[in-house]
Amino acid sequence: MAHKNIIPFGPQHPVLPEPIHFDLVTEDEKIVDAIPSISYVHRGLERLVEKRDFIDMVHVADRICGLCSFMHSLGYCQAVEEIMKIEVPERALYLRTLWAELSRVHSHIFWLGVAADAFGYESLFMQSLRLREGVLDIFEETTGGRVILGVCKVGGVRKDITAETLQGILDRLTTLKKDLDELCTVFMNDYSIKHRLVGVGYISKEDAYTLGCVGPMARASGLDMDMRSLGYAAYKHLDVEPMVESGGDCYARCLVRIRETFHSIDLIRQAAGKIPEGPIDLKLKDTPNGEYFSRIEQPRGEVIHYVKGNGSKFLQRFRVRVPTFSNIPAMIKVLKGSEVADVPNIILTLDPCISCTER
Amino acid sequence: MTKTITKNLLSGPATLMYPKKKRRFTPLTRGHVEVDINACIFCGMCSRRCPTYAITVTKDCKEWQIDRLKCCVCNLCVEICPKKCLSMENQYAPPVTDKTTAIYTVRVEKEATGT
């Protein structure tokens, strides 16, 4: 019987982009238990509903996280709009879909870069981030912000995209797709990368379901779960196809994200082809009175925004259940029984976003 | 690999040689808020709308003040201004070494006295 050791991992660790801490109980090189602890970046954003009215809260929701900032404001706006029974103009819905999919593209490319960095591929990391820059430039041109877009508002969107700009975006996405193709062959076929990912961090379909996995983590284990098929925003008019893999290991999760990136580019093309003319926002007359659960698909999985209003300018309750939070139990399960050297890879393939988790 | 190396050698750096080459902002870029103080009626709508309480408007001494470090550049004040005297400039606010230098005050009598 080997001696048990506790190895602290995080909150500051070279492979972790965000602060999460694990106490890894090890026997030799094997991990027998992992105890997570979070709350290093808690900011109390949900409580701000008492101080800022429901229109300003969009900007607070926007700042919950950097990578999925647009998705948070989208989820929040959707919830408030449902409560207030507002019919958002079609064009605004399409524009939201466009930005949401662009967010997914940039988040997944960023993840590929960070993952490459974790298994020691510095150059691949740089290449990925160079490609991501193109998407950020599109954001800056169309919304005015590179990371925090601030473009969603209750009742519509703030900025319109002209037909020429849209064509420009599509042209740039074609080039991006070509470059990405080249990059992704490395991720999919490289011997060393496969060696680090295939068979590592396996989670079965049943476990993924019982532990409440969402997003790429669930889809990599064969669960067909994609909130976009609920048909919020303009997804009801587009052909959304959940990217499901059956591997259940780190490699499958990597594949799901790569395939989703290409699918997102395809969805943007579809949305650009179908986008109708018309107004982009509505004037608000009322205040929200009621409650609603809004479910949308973030790059990391399903996010739930719960909003409760009592008819005044200030909301009563705002709660966000983020995908990382529901993936943590699965993360623990996967970590048990793995090797110490695989821990960074396993944690990264879950794509944890701690800023979201703690708000 | 040879392909990547040749491409990198021929295409030059992907980054911007910053101080030599200035970054070009898009017309929509939210950089910082500017005020045309002569058109301002000191209604205080901008300070009430501001999500971060960055703007202070004093009607008595006709003073408009913004803390650039608090401002989250959301464009709400520009949208709500009834006289359209606020505008969003493309250039980001310059970096500062202490917090008080980021507070920008404009009065009607003495124009644009940055403190």
Q: What is the ipTM of this complex?
A: 0.76
Residue B92 domain flag: yes
3-state secondary structure chain A: CCCEEEEEECCCCCCCCCCCEEEEEEECCEEEEEEEECCCCCCCCHHHHHCCCCCCHHHHHHCCCCCCHHHHHHHHHHHHHHHHCCCCCHHHHHHHHHHHHHHHHHHHHHHHHHHHHHCCCHHHHHHHHHHHHHHHHHHHHHHCCCCCCCCEECCEECCCCCHHHHHHHHHHHHHHHHHHHHHHHHHHHCHHHHHHHCCCCCCCHHHHHHCCCCHHHHHHCCCCCCHHHHCCCCHHHCCCCCCCCCCCCHHHHHHHHHHHHHHHHHHHHHHHHHCCCCCCECCCCCCCEEEEEEEEEECCEEEEEEEEEECCCCEEEEEEECHHHHHHHHHHHHHCCCEHHHHHHHHHHCCCCHHHHHC
CATH of the domain at B101: 3.30.70.3270
- Any idea which of A14-23, A155-164, B75-84 has the lowest mean pLDDT? A14-23
Judged by CB atoms closer than 8 Å, whether chains meet at B28 and A144 is answered as yes
Query: In terms of CA atoms, which chain B residue is nearest residue A132?
Result: B14
Size of interface A-B (CB pairs under 8 A): 37
- Determine the distance in angstroms separating the CA of A211 from the nearest CA of chain B, rounded to an integer: 38
Residue B2 domain flag: no
Q: Give A34's strand partners.
A: A24
- Residues in chain A closer than 8 A to B51 (CB atoms): 52, 56, 59-60
Residue B93 domain flag: yes
Residue B8 domain flag: no
Judged by CB atoms closer than 8 Å, whether chains meet at A159 and B28 is answered as yes
- The pLDDT-based confidence of B113 (bands split at 50, 70, 90) is low
Q: What is the torsional sign of CA A275, A281, A282, A287?
A: positive
Residue B115 domain flag: no
Which tokens sit at A291? Answer: 């409650």
CATH of the domain at A59: 1.10.645.10
Q: Judge whether B49 is closer than 8 Å to chain A, CB to CB.
A: yes
The pLDDT score that the predictor gives to residue A248 is: 83
Residue A341, Cβ density class (10 Å: 0-12 exposed, 13-18 middle, ≥19 buried): exposed
Has this prediction a pTM greater than 0.80?
yes
The residue among B12 and A215 whose pLDDT is bigger is A215
What's the pLDDT tens digit per position in A154-209? 888 888 888 888 888 889 889 888 888 888 888 888 888 888 888 888 888 888 88
> Alpha helix locations (H) across chain B?
2-11, 45-49, 76-80
Q: Is the pLDDT score of B1 beyond 80?
A: no
Average pLDDT over residues B40-48: 85
Q: Give the residue numbers spanning the domain of B83.
A: 25-107
Q: How many whole angstroms separate alpha carbon A70 and alpha carbon A58?
A: 10
Contact between residue A155 and residue A170 where contact means Cβ atoms under 8 Å apart: no
Residue B42 domain flag: yes
The residue among A15 and A130 whose pLDDT is bigger is A130
From B25, B72, B88, residue closest to A59, measured CB to CB: B72
Judged by CB atoms closer than 8 Å, whether chains meet at A150 and B26 is answered as no
Residue B15 domain flag: no
What is the residue type of A289?
A: N
H-helix or E-strand spanning residue B107: strand B103-107
The number of folded domains in chain B is 1
Contacts from B11-20 at CB under 8 Å and sequence distance 24+? B14/A130, B14/A133
Query: In terms of CA atoms, which chain B residue is nearest residue A51?
Result: B51
Q: Judge whether B91 is closer than 8 Å to chain A, CB to CB.
A: no
Q: Give B34's strand partners.
A: B87
The pLDDT score that the predictor gives to residue A1 is: 61
Q: How many whole angstroms separate alpha carbon A238 and alpha carbon A266?
A: 10
Residue B30 domain flag: yes
Judged by CB atoms closer than 8 Å, whether chains meet at B28 and A140 is answered as yes
Interface mutation target, options A45, A57, A73, A141, chain B, most CBs of B under 10 Å? A141
The number of folded domains in chain A is 1
From B14, B30, B51, residue closest to A60, measured CB to CB: B51
What's the pLDDT tens digit per position in B18-41? 888 888 888 888 888 888 888 888
Q: How many whole angstroms separate alpha carbon A62 and alpha carbon A75?
A: 10
From A52, A130, A140, residue closest to B26, measured CB to CB: A140
What's the pLDDT tens digit per position in A97-137? 989 899 999 999 998 888 888 888 888 888 888 888 888 88
Q: Give the residue numbers spanning the domain of A286.
A: 4-358
What's the pLDDT tens digit per position in A300-332? 888 898 988 888 888 888 888 888 888 888 888
